[in-house]
Amino acid sequence: MEKMPLKVRVATETLPAGYELDKLVHAAQKMEEKTIRRWRMAHTLSKSGDLWTKDGTFVVVGNNALKRGVISLFHDSTTAGHPGITKTLTAIKPYYWWPGIKNFVTEYVKGCITDYDCSKVAIFISCNEEIDAAGVAKVYATYVFPHYGLPRKVISD
């Protein structure tokens, strides 16, 4: 995918579902002007009007909730389908940047139950509301093992 300059992207693309997120990123830039000025030289940031960018992408500054919101848009949404670390990072990079983005995305994706080295399959089995550990083991042996074998780990909430 050829990367278009930010101004061209905004003018030629329909606004993504993340348009509200873009507004939050812009507002955070205004509130964190001091931080961005520290990053400016070290990371070759540029300013167009009152918007800070790096190589045509929005600079995300501020709290981690905003960064998680960006990652969630490209990772958790129904259309994203919970891609892994590399695909999530590749999807984000044309639009957003912040120092340490790779590490932040890595930690986020590693924390996703869906993505935690699993088959990404949900198995719904009806059972008694008051099932005990032995009952869970029996249901697991009956419905999961025959299809997927013995798991290396089980993650449950």
Q: Given this model, what pLDDT does residue 13 score?
A: 39
Full-model pTM = 0.63
Domain range 6-110, CATH class: mainly alpha
| Residue ranges per structural domain of the chain | 6-110, 117-157
What's the whole-number mean pLDDT along residues 76-80? 70
d(CA 106, CA 110): 6
d(CA 74, CA 87): 9
DSSP secondary structure letter of residue 48? E
**22 band by pLDDT with thresholds 50, 70 and 90:** confident
Q: Given this model, what pLDDT does residue 7 score?
A: 40
d(CA 61, CA 50): 14
d(CA 22, CA 7): 14
Query: How big is the chain, counted in residues?
Result: 157
30 vs 18, higher pLDDT: 30
